Structure 1
Amino acid sequence: MIDFTAAEIAQITGGELAANPHLSPSSVVTDSREASPGALYVAKAGEHADGHDFIAAAFSGGAVLTLAEREVLDPDGLPYPSVIVQDAVLAMGALASAVVERIRQERAARGEDFSVIGITGSAGKTTTKDLLAGILGAQGATIAPQGSYNGEIGVPLTVFSADAGTRYLVIEMGATGVGHIRYLCDMVRPDTGVVLCVGTAHAGEFGGVENIALAKGEMAEAIPADGRVILNTDDARVAAMSSRATAPVWGFSADGDPQAAFRAEDLTLDDDGQPVFTLVFPDGSAHPIASRLIGLHHVNNLLAAAAAAYAVGVGPEAIAHSLSEQKAASRWRMERTERPDGITVINDAYNANPESMRAALKTLAQLGRQRRTWAVLGAMLELGDESIREHTAIGTQVVRLNIDQLLVVGKEARALYISAINEGSWGSEALFAADLDEAEEILGEHLQAGDLVLFKSSRNVGLRHLGDRIALRGQAAPAESASPSTQEKTFGGEEKGQL
């Protein structure tokens, strides 16, 4: 982390200093349990608990300063060393902005390059971020988010991991409404911006899909004229964002759009459902890609990562080599497990919207031509007034893709179950479970050797954990990626409604 004294932190955040002005924190945490010697602990009121209640614990863990919204007294009746601000989250953003600016200045003084790449979209952000970080990590010091830290708390936490030795800073950006991407872009000032897609998830919260497009397009507007905007030309709403950009625009296309600067040609899936294609670059060169990710829907993520890496100076050969070597780096994204009894589990239940649900089901159908297929599906949350219609459409698709067995979990997804029965006149092929425990009992009773099982739902349904239990019966469960503290509203990929 870039060093700032307590006095500088107070000046940057507009806060009131109640500490030794020369204190210089060495890290920033929002969870008191993560506090280590020298930490700055950010205390804020959250959805589940008040971070101010954990200031004492943070100092016990080694924190030397807190960024807080009110004064808290220690056991001796003295205030903990603090910078008191009106809004701790906004103060975090101001401090993160100062960190980015300091890195730029220090690297420029040494004649060294520094690139900030912003990635947004309704789906695929984390996979694209992981792929891009994999490419750039081989070229120079790279900082990218843990998991899916992509909001007003997650982005600053990512920034605080950077220092003057950082060559590439990759930022994933989510939104819960219009103006949020603009806020994050103002914070980190990306010079390369990627927009992946505009989906219908959270349409109710945003007030319609056009507002989602309006929000995502803030990325295109934020990139300076000497930067680069990278847009998915297969998505008409994203392609239209070129009119909002002042920077040069590159398009990418999995559908082979001949006008796209980056495109996939001769696209197929291998026997394991992994994309194989030729990647065409703006310089006219073409390089074979044999991805280790599962599903055709990852092709746009691969292309977007390639375009962003190329924009910051990485050569086509290095990009193609990296894309063919990388596996999924984050959990519950088409995560495949082969059980000893011959059952294959694909756990894609980190998140779900109508677009990603359809993509996952198509992949299941493609992989399961010689096997019995199971679609274990939960609700797609935050669809607003479109929820029943969208779940009904997915139920219809399950039947039309000839998926052998459907298990719908939870009352929020019941329209999907009813739709499948009505479409296919199904009997025992469609099953309904009220909760995860009942679903686990059904699967334990009915799964057979050779079955291929897909788990897919929105994150808060919790289906990913059922997928883990089914996949790893008799084996040690994998470590779960970082989860939010109860001290916080939640952050990063856990942020409520982040899209």
Structure 2
Amino acid sequence: MSKWTVEAVAQIAQGTLIGNSDLEVQGCIIDSRQAQGGEMFFALPGEQVDGHDYIEAAWKNGAVLVVADEARFQRSGKTPRTPEGKALLLVKSVFIALQELAKAWRLELGVKVVGVTGSNGKTTTKDMIAAVLSRRFRVYRNKENHNNELGLPLTVLNAPLGTEILVLEMGMRGLGEIKALCDIAQPDIGVITNIGTTHLELLLTQERIAQAKWELIEALPMDGIAILNAEDLLSVEKAKNDPHSTLFYGLEGAFAQPHLAGVQLRPWGALGTSFDVCFHDEKTTANLPLPGKHNVLDALAALAVGTAFDVPLAEGCGGLGELELSKMRLEIRSGVFGTTLINDVYNANPVSMQASLQVLKERAGENKTVAILGEMYELGTSAESGHREVGRTLAELGVSVLISVGKLAEEIAQGARLAGYSEDQIEVTATREQAIIKARDLLAQFGPGTWVLIKGSRGMKMEEITMHLERLGI
């Protein structure tokens, strides 16, 4: 196997080629500034930025081939001059060409593919799976959460020669979307972390969410393996009528007996968790640099994938100990006035919010705790109840103070009140700026040793609160 030539790309994409057909290409970009040399630049039209305006820049920065919409140049009657040593491929749809090329490259690589989806923890699980499998294989994965109809094919096309396993996170907002991603990725193993209420606004019922997630399992070949959470009722119920081999992982085994189980969880280091892993007659200890049962469950999913690829359990646990996570997930940072910040602002839903609150209390011990919580999106008709459920958990855990951010997040405060939380423990703010002022005053009062959790949905941009609480002088 070797790099593709421009001519080979043109044949797969069924486009009109202008320029040198013998040039070799590998990798792809959609931002002309990211060119390093030898890539394909896909000139995707966007709502605010049109890639066709950056064709010359892409060539100048090192891209070899530009893939562009032929209709764009038919309308203008002009075709850009192709520099020497460069090529232009005109296609009916840049987006479709990207996906078709990703399908072809996945087959060209001859890799095994692990697909990962779920309502919570899929990005963390994807990172953990890569860490486990990297002990024995050359692994490539999505950057951050590049998990949609654009990000996934870009990930596949950027997988380098020699890749043995692709670990691909798959997101969805509706029925048919994971199926479309699977048409590109053709997964051999499917992991569903859980089936919760994220995207309820779009899919209306949890059963429809389950149906959408299950598209990953339905896409597996008959010898494929479904790796499922034994603590998740809908996953266990769906598995009963599915023909694929199933490997369950879990802690208590609430709804199915785990094939791979985690027991005896205990704190490890500043924010880590140590636990024992049991698989058949084998037992070993894992030291995970993350807190909380939810992260242990994700780690068990990763170890289960490892067993499917014959990675010894001890080696897989070693991989978890060297885990590199995507940014903005349970990051520990030094805050103002000697405080400790938990920056967990990547995204939020009721389950992940409650899990992070438990981590806050677990790690703070007897110290003061402050939860700065923003709105949670895409909960549909469960928006009010979901926010109130978080408030109820916060009150039951005994968090010292709640600072809510945004109109929807006022329901977190209301849920806490209904659970007996005192009014003088609640600060309701409408904006991040107001939350920063309240937090600054509060942390000055509480002083050193205080632990602070900052969390909210991605659109809330809660990282700006973290940034300001780090920047303030002591």
TM-score, normalised on structure 1?
0.87
| Residues 338-363 of structure 1 deviation map (CA, whole Å, 9 limit, x = unaligned) | 34843111111100011111111122
Range with greater deviation from structure 2 (58-67 or 457-466): 58-67
| Cα shift at 1:200 | 0.8
Q: Which residue of 1 aligns with 2:16?
A: 16
Amino acid at match of 1:441: I
Compared CA separation, residues 50 and 260, structure 1 to 2 (3 A): same
Matched-pair contact (CA < 8 Å) for 1:273–1:295: no
Compared CA separation, residues 208 and 45, structure 1 to 2 (3 A): farther
Amino acid at match of 1:385: T
2:393 maps to 1:397: yes
Matching of residues 346-385 of structure 1 within 5 Å: 346-385=342-381
Q: Which residue of 2 aligns with 1:7?
A: 7
| Cα shift at 1:52 | 2.0
Compared CA separation, residues 256 and 471, structure 1 to 2 (3 A): farther
Matched-pair contact (CA < 8 Å) for 1:19–1:65: no
Distance 2:414 2:469 in 1: 25
Q: Which residue of 1 aligns with 2:182?
A: 185
| Cα shift at 1:272 | 4.4
Query: Aligned residue pairs: how many?
Result: 464
2:55 maps to 1:58: no
Q: Which residue of 2 aligns with 1:485?
A: none
Distance 1:355 1:223 in 2: 28
Q: 2:97 aligns with which of 91, 102, 125?
A: 91
Distance 2:53 2:114 in 1: 36
Matched-pair contact (CA < 8 Å) for 1:267–1:278: yes
Distance 2:170 2:427 in 1: 37
Q: Which residue of 1 aligns with 2:113?
A: 116
Distance 2:314 2:391 in 1: 43
Matched-pair contact (CA < 8 Å) for 1:9–1:95: yes
Q: Secondary structure at the match of 1:17?
A: strand
Distance 2:40 2:129 in 1: 30
Q: Which residue of 1 aligns with 2:225?
A: 228
Matched-pair contact (CA < 8 Å) for 2:32–2:61: yes
Q: Which residue of 1 aligns with 2:308?
A: 311
| Cα shift at 1:271 | 7.4
Amino acid at match of 2:140: I
Matching of residues 258-297 of structure 1 within 5 Å: 259-270=257-268, 272=270, 274-281=272-279, 283-297=280-294
Matched-pair contact (CA < 8 Å) for 1:295–1:359: yes
Q: Which residue of 1 aligns with 2:406?
A: 410
- Bigger relative CO (Cα 8 Å, ≥ 6 apart): 1
Q: Secondary structure at the match of 1:41?
A: strand
Matched-pair contact (CA < 8 Å) for 1:266–1:277: yes
Q: Secondary structure at the match of 2:116?
A: strand
2:474 maps to 1:468: no
Amino acid at match of 2:389: A
Range with greater deviation from structure 2 (33-42 or 311-320): 33-42
Q: Which residue of 2 aligns with 1:158?
A: 155
| Cα shift at 1:84 | 2.8
| Cα shift at 1:442 | 1.4
Compared CA separation, residues 418 and 70, structure 1 to 2 (3 A): farther
Q: Secondary structure at the match of 1:122?
A: coil
Amino acid at match of 1:452: W
| Residues 380-417 of structure 1 deviation map (CA, whole Å, 9 limit, x = unaligned) | 11112221221122222222221110001122322222
| Residues 188-246 of structure 1 deviation map (CA, whole Å, 9 limit, x = unaligned) | 21211111111111111223222211111111111212222111121011122324543
Distance 1:331 1:78 in 2: 39
Matched-pair contact (CA < 8 Å) for 2:403–2:427: yes
Matched-pair contact (CA < 8 Å) for 2:395–2:421: no
Q: Secondary structure at the match of 2:424?
A: coil
Distance 1:470 1:328 in 2: 25
Matched-pair contact (CA < 8 Å) for 2:225–2:245: yes
Which stretches in structure 2 are left out of the alignment for 5+ residues?
none
| Cα shift at 1:120 | 1.0
| Cα shift at 1:41 | 0.8
Compared CA separation, residues 444 and 82, structure 1 to 2 (3 A): same
| Residues 21-62 of structure 1 deviation map (CA, whole Å, 9 limit, x = unaligned) | 333323310111112333211112223322222223222322
2:436 maps to 1:430: no
Amino acid at match of 2:277: L
Q: Secondary structure at the match of 2:263?
A: strand
| Cα shift at 1:135 | 1.9
Q: Secondary structure at the match of 2:371?
A: strand
Distance 1:196 1:377 in 2: 24
Q: Secondary structure at the match of 2:133?
A: helix
Amino acid at match of 2:400: D
Distance 1:206 1:68 in 2: 34
Matched-pair contact (CA < 8 Å) for 1:69–1:86: yes
Q: Secondary structure at the match of 1:166?
A: coil
| Cα shift at 1:456 | 0.9
Q: Which residue of 1 aligns with 2:448?
A: 449
Q: Secondary structure at the match of 1:193?
A: strand
Q: Which residue of 2 aligns with 1:69?
A: 69
Distance 2:65 2:318 in 1: 45
Distance 1:271 1:35 in 2: 40
Range with greater deviation from structure 2 (259-268 or 334-343): 334-343
Matched-pair contact (CA < 8 Å) for 2:27–2:160: no
Matched-pair contact (CA < 8 Å) for 1:120–1:194: yes
Matched-pair contact (CA < 8 Å) for 2:390–2:412: yes
Q: Which residue of 1 aligns with 2:214?
A: 217
Percent sequence identity over aligned pairs = 33
Distance 2:16 2:400 in 1: 63
Distance 1:200 1:43 in 2: 36
Amino acid at match of 1:307: A
Matched-pair contact (CA < 8 Å) for 1:115–1:312: no
Q: Which residue of 2 aligns with 1:497?
A: none
Q: 1:419 aligns with which of 411, 415, 419?
A: 415
Distance 1:278 1:205 in 2: 39
Compared CA separation, residues 101 and 352, structure 1 to 2 (3 A): same
Q: Which residue of 1 aligns with 2:247?
A: 250
CA RMSD of aligned residues (A): 2.4
| Cα shift at 1:436 | 1.3
Compared CA separation, residues 123 and 393, structure 1 to 2 (3 A): same
Amino acid at match of 2:425: E
Distance 2:19 2:12 in 1: 15
Matched-pair contact (CA < 8 Å) for 1:14–1:85: yes
Distance 2:34 2:400 in 1: 46
Amino acid at match of 2:252: D
Compared CA separation, residues 267 and 18, structure 1 to 2 (3 A): same
| Cα shift at 1:78 | 3.6
Q: Secondary structure at the match of 1:412?
A: coil
Matched-pair contact (CA < 8 Å) for 2:71–2:92: no
